[in-house]
Amino acid sequence: MNDLFAFTLGPESDSGQRLRDYLAAMVRFEYVQAARTRLTCSVTAISLVVWVSAVWPRILPALVCRIAWVTWMITFGSLLAACALEPAFYKKKMACLSRLGAPPVTAVSPGVENPPG
Which pLDDT score, from 0 to 100, does residue 82 have? 95
Q: Is residue 8 part of a domain?
A: no
Specify the pLDDT at position 26.
93
- Domain for residue 9, yes or no? no
Whether 108 is in a domain gets the answer no
| pTM > 0.75: yes or no | no
Q: Could you tell me if residue 50 is inside a domain? A: yes
Structural domain includes residue 1: no
Is 26 a domain residue? yes
Q: What is the domain range of residue 61?
A: 14-100
Which parts of the chain register pLDDT below 50? none
pLDDT tens-place string over residues 102-111: 666 555 556 5
Q: What is the mean pLDDT of the chain?
A: 84
Domains of the chain: total: 1
**Closest residue by Cα to residue 38 from 82, 89, 86, 90:** 82
Q: What percent of the chain has pLDDT over 90?
A: 57
Look at residue 94 and tell me if it is in a domain: yes
